[in-house]
Amino acid sequence: MNNDNNSAASNRKNSAEVNNDVSPDLNNMDALSLYLKSTAGSRKGRAIPPLENWHPENVADMDLVIKENGEWWHEGGEMTRESLVSLFATILWKEENEGIVEYFLKTPVQKIRIQVEDAPLLINDVGIVNEGSESWLEFTTTTGDVVRLDDEHQIILKAYNAKDRNTTDHTTSDVEIDADSYQGKIPETQIRPYMPVRNGLTALIGRNTFYHLTEIGELKEQDGKVILTLQSGGNSYQLSMPAD
């Protein structure tokens, strides 16, 4: 009897392992949601899974777009369930090949290609966190990522072209933030502030959050520019903006 039970248990285990090797069709919103919830395992809260250790060969496409304002749209309709968006954001993955950038929702068995108009993440809050004798600027995204301003997570300025959905990287030393264009008064090329977050993903710093930064930091006019100096972790970080 014990041998039969052990054999049956072994068969069930082998069957489960085989099933894990078969790529399910996850390019369906409900199927992907159920899969992620069922495979969450012992991860607590909003833990990011080890995406860098997953190498699925199966690739599919989903009609999912992360808009330039941070909204997630599926099959032409906005995704309003914040819990679902946050869940999917934990498996966001970026790949670049010969200058072509693609974004995926990545699982151990499948990569699901999605479209991203600008940045895949959006920062909508910033605050000051005091630890001992040091103060840090801490940023939070709409999907729950938390990142501090430091040498590895500096604010980056990019030119964003709303017409062709294309961005060109620049350094903080040679690009100025155009406040008018950042408010959306100029419909095409804009200069926007971003921060690196995780796994090569960047987050757009939302307008209200950026304005809050100007209140937190020190503003000084120099050579026809307004220099915004931010203090975080005992270091200073500067951004240049045109003077009025």
Q: What is the pLDDT of residues 14-59, one digit of tens each?
A: 333 333 443 456 667 677 767 666 665 544 445 899 999 999 999 9
User: In which band, very low, low, confident or very high, does the pLDDT at 90 lie, cut at 50, 70 and 90?
Assistant: very high
Between CA 51 and CA 126 the distance in angstroms is 27
CA dihedral 151, 155, 159, 165 (to 10 degrees): 100
Q: Does the model's pTM come out above 0.85?
A: no
Which amino acid is residue 185, in one-letter code?
K
Q: What is the pLDDT of residues 143-201, one digit of tens each?
A: 999 999 999 999 988 888 876 554 444 333 333 454 444 444 444 678 899 999 999 99
The structure tokens listed for 54 are 């997953």
**pLDDT surpassing 90 at residue 77:** yes
Which pLDDT score, from 0 to 100, does residue 35 have? 67
Mean pLDDT across 202-210: 96
Question: Largest alpha-carbon pair distance within the chain?
Answer: 87
